[in-house]
């Protein structure tokens, strides 16, 4: 026989239980190389949790247009791709000739 235990708790207790079950993710600071090709590539420190290519490009003030390609470590990616310490995030502009 299984017994169920039901307890009435307040919001403070629920918040404490939630923190134990789902502890907050600590912010991290990472350094990534970022740039737009053609152009320069620079190292950029960035802090946060679950850092994405979009976060890095926004902090670097690099605009991405619909015809541009986004790469993380040389692999075609998208703006929601996760980024880790030491990664390289590039925006490759498609240059068209005459």
Q: Which domains does the chain have, with CATH numbers?
A: 28-92 (3.10.20.90)
- Close Cβ partners of 37 (under 8 Å, ≥ 6 residues apart): 90, 91, 92, 93
**Collapsed DSSP state (helix, strand, coil) of residue 45:** strand
| Residue 68 pLDDT > 60 | yes
Q: Assign 27 a pLDDT band (cuts: 50, 70, 90).
A: confident
Torsion 71-77-78-79 (CA) sign: negative
pLDDT of 95 reads 74
| Residue 39 pLDDT > 90 | yes
| Residue 6 pLDDT > 80 | no
DSSP β-ladder status, 75-77 and 41-48:
unpaired
Is the Cβ–Cβ distance between 59 and 44 less than 8 Å? yes
């Amino acid at each position: 026989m299984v017994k169920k235990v039901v307890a009435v708790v307040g919001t403070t207790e629920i918040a404490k239980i939630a923190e134990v079950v789902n502890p907050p993710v600590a912010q991290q600071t990472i350094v990534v190389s970022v740039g737009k090709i053609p152009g320069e590539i620079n190292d950029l420190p960035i802090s946060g949790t679950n850092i994405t290519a979009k976060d890095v490009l926004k902090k670097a003030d690099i605009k991405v247009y619909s015809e541009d390609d986004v790469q993380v470590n040389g692999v075609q990616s998208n703006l929601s791709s996760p980024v880790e310490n030491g990664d390289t995030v590039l925006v490759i502009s498609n240059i068209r000739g005459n």
